[in-house]
């Protein structure tokens, strides 16, 4: 089965076709800061992850397909829709996908982490700034890779 995705990263605004037969190492990345998206996407791809990246959470939601992703990597604070709301909408379509939230506000991340209802093995919180290698390390540990 093939699905078309709009890839709204700073590096490319083209449409790409993706084979959905295997979700292992597949990440949906959403952050409204283009530079952050670019750096994280490149770091993940260098570590053998397939990444669909968006700078618009509404567009990411519109193009989301259940069962396609091993991990959602979502910024908490975004203008059009925050990462928590985006995840709540996505989990209505796919309640098995794991999620990693990241935020520049440690208070914001810890506040959400303390009130979040999913088991800790399904949710990871990362505070920015963080180096790409350290983020990759935490994601790999979270995914038991």
Residue 62, both tokens: 């519109």
Identify whether 35 is preceded by a cis peptide bond (ω within 30 of 0).
no
- Name the residue among 127, 60, 128, 125 with its Cα closest to residue 90: 60
Runs of H (alpha helix) within the chain: 34-46, 57-63, 83-91, 106-115, 132-142
CATH fourth-level superfamily of 2-142? Response regulator (3.40.50.2300)
What is the pLDDT at residue 5? Answer: 32
Question: pLDDT over 90 for what percent of the chain?
Answer: 59
**Out of 17-21, 24-28, 58-62, 64-68, least confident range:** 17-21
Please provide the average confidence, as pLDDT, over all residues in the chain.
80
Domain ranges of the chain: 2-142
Mean pLDDT of the region 65-76? 95
CB atoms within 10 A of CB 141: 10
Ramachandran class of 15: left when φ > 0, alpha when ψ lies in -120 to 50, beta otherwise: beta
Query: Do the beta carbons of residue 121 and residue 143 sit within 8 Å?
Result: no
pTM: 0.78
What is the pLDDT at residue 110? Answer: 57
């Amino acid at each position: 089965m093939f699905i078309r995705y709009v890839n709204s990263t700073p590096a490319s605004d083209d449409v790409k076709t993706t084979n959905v037969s295997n979700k292992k190492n597949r990440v949906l990345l959403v952050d409204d800061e283009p530079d952050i998206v670019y750096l994280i996407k490149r770091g993940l791809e260098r570590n053998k992850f397939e990444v669909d990246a968006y700078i618009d959470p509404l567009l990411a939601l519109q193009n989301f397909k259940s069962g396609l992703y091993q991990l959602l990597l979502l910024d908490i604070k975004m203008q059009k829709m925050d990462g928590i709301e985006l995840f709540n909408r996505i989990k209505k379509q796919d309640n098995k996908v794991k999620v990693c939230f990241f935020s520049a506000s440690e208070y914001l991340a810890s506040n959400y982490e303390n009130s979040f209802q999913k088991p800790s093995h399904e949710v990871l919180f990362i505070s920015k700034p963080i180096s790409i290698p350290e983020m990759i390390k935490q994601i790999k540990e979270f995914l038991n890779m």
